[in-house]
Chain A
Amino acid sequence: MSSPAISLKDLDISYGDTKVVRDVTFDVATGESFALVGESGSGKSTVLKAIAGLAPDWTGEISVLGKPRGHGTDRAFSETCQMVFQDPYASLHPRKTIDTVLSEPLAIHGIGKRSEKVVEMLGAVGLDQRFRFRFPHQLSGGQRQRVAIARALMLEPKVMLLDEPTSALDVSVQAEILNLLKRLRREQGLTYLMVTHNLPVVSFMCDRMAVMNKGRIVEIAPKTALYDGSFADPYTRDLYAASGGNPDADPVVAAASESKDPA
C-alpha cells in the first residue's frame, strides 16, 4: 500500500507549558497492528489522544490514511478513526441505554437505518440482543467494553485507537476481548494502534511495537523481539525483564508447555 494508515512526524505534544511528548515519528501500515508500550507517564496515551483530537496542543505532523489532521474536531476524521478507552466503567454514559449510545454516532453523521445497524453491531461484538435497551450499570465490565468497541465501530472506521482496552478486566474476560478485537480486525481489515503496558498482550495482538520512556520513543521493534528479548535499548530490556522475560524461551519449559498446548 502506498500511504500508511497512521503517520506521525516530529510530533511534540504539550499540556499547558509542559511538553510531555517529544519527537515522535513512526508510520503504521494499513492493516497493521502496532503497539505503544511504556510505563505510566511515558506519554503513550497522550499520543493516542493527539491523534484522536483530544490533546489539541501539538506541533509536527499527524496524518491518517494519507490525510493530514488539523487541530480542531473534524467530522470526516471521526468516520475514519475511532478510539476505545481504558476503563469501560468510566467511558459509557450512565444514563443512556446501549441503544442510544450506539445510535448516537449515526445520528450525528446523519446516517439512516440506525436500528438495523445497532442490531447488526451488537451481533458483531458478541452481545445478545436483550442488552440493547439496558443501561451500562446493568452490564459487567467485559460487556461494557464490548459496547465501547461497538460504539467505536458504528461509523465503520478503518483505524482504531485502543487505549489499554483490557487492563481493567479479569484475565479470562481479557482473553475474550482480545479475541474479539483480533477477529474484528481480520473481518473488517482494520488498522490498530494500541497502547498497553502488558508485553504478552503485544505478542498476541500486534506486529510491531514502539517503546516509550519519558515522552520519547526509545525503540521500535518487531514482536519477535519479545521471543528472545533482543532489544537494543537498555530501558526496553529492563521493562522486558520486569515483565518476567520469556519463560518459554527455556527449551525445557518450552517443551513442557508445547506438550500441554492442545488442551
Chain B
Amino acid sequence: MTGAPLLEIEDLRVSFATPKGPVEVVKGLNLTLGREERLGIVGESGSGKSMTGRSILRLIRSPGKQTAKTLRFDGLDLMGQSNRQMRQIRGARISMIMQDPKFSLNPVMTIGHQIAEALQVHEKLPRRDLQARVIEMLNSVRINEPERVAKMYPHEVSGGMGQRVMIAMMLIPRPQLLIADEPTSALDVSVQAQVLDLIEELVTGNGMGLILISHDLNLVARYCDRILVMNGGEVVEACAAKDLHKASHPYTKGLLAAQPRMQETRDELPVLDRSGGAGT
C-alpha cells in the first residue's frame, strides 16, 4: 500500500423517499481501500451492504438519492462526474460482479459476444485481437474449450460456469477495482470455493483492489484482509480478517455465535436480541 488510497469514502448516505418521509439505508459510511487491498463488507439482508457497493459506481436509481462528503477513486471525484463520464469509469476502471449469473447475463447473446462487448465499449480493437482476448480471458477463468463456450448461450452453461463468464466479462477491461456483490451465494458450496479462489488469484495477480460483499462471515474472513460489519446502514465493526474471532461489537459477536459449527456441541444456538429493532 503506497501513496494515496485507491478509494476514499467519507460520510456516504443513501436514502429513499417513502410516504413517511425519507428513509436512510446507508447512514454516513466511511471507508478507505488501499491499492491491492481486499476488503469484505458483511451484513444481513437490509443492512445496506449492497447499496454501499452500488453507490461506489453511482448506480443508485431514482427515487434513491446518494450524497457523500468525499467519494474519491484514484484521485478522481466520483460525485462530480457526469453520467457520461461515469459510463467511462464503470466497467473499465471499476467493475462489479452481480449475484446471480442467471439474471445478469443477456440470454439472447452468445457468451463470446457479451465478453467482447464489455471490452469494445472501452477499447477499439481489431476483430481478430478482440477474439483472441476473449479466448484468453475465458482460459484464465479456467473454462475448458473456450472456443466452444464462446459460441454458447447463457442457458447452456451451469451456474458456476455462468459466474465465471461474468468474472471474465468484468475483468477483461482490466479494472483497478472489483466489487463483488455476493458473487457465490447462488452457487453450490463446492463451486463457491473455486469461484472465490479464482477471483482471489486474478485480483492479486493483476494488482486490483477488491470489495467482497457477502452475508457469510467466515467466507469473507477467508478471502479478505479487512472486514467491515454493517447493520442497519451503519458500520458497526471494522477489523482485520484474522482478528474476526476477537470482534468486540455485540452484533458481530451475535452473528458469529448464531452460525452452526462443523463440530457443534451447543444444544441451542444463541439468537440476536431484536427487541430494539425490527422483528424476524
Contacts and interface: CB of A to CB of B under 8 A. Distances in A.
Nearest to A240: B262
B69 interface: no
Interface residues of A, number: 43
A34 to B, nearest CB: 16
A226 B260 CA distance: 12
Given A140-B280, A171-B259, A175-B270, A204 B188 contact: no
B140 interface: no
A227 B254 CA distance: 23
Contact of B263 (A172, A242, A248): A248
B280 A243 contact: no
Contacts of A227: 262-263
A170 B215 contact: yes
Contacts of A179: 268-269, 271
Interface string B229-240: 000000000000
A174 B189 contact: no
A239 interface: yes
Contacts of B191: 39
Do most interface residues of chain A lie in helix, strand or loop, or is the interface mixed? Answer: helix
Q: Which of B44, B257, B263 has the most CB of A within 10 A?
A: B263
Size bin of chain B's contact surface: 35 or more
A201 to B, nearest CB: 5
A245 interface: yes
B279 interface: yes
B270 A245 contact: no
Contacts of B159: 40
A204 B271 CA distance: 14
Interface string A128-153: 00000000000011110000000000
B258 A249 contact: no
B275 to A, nearest CB: 13
Ranked nearest first, the 3 interchain pairs of A and B with the lowest CB-CB distance are A142-B280, A175-B258, A204-B260
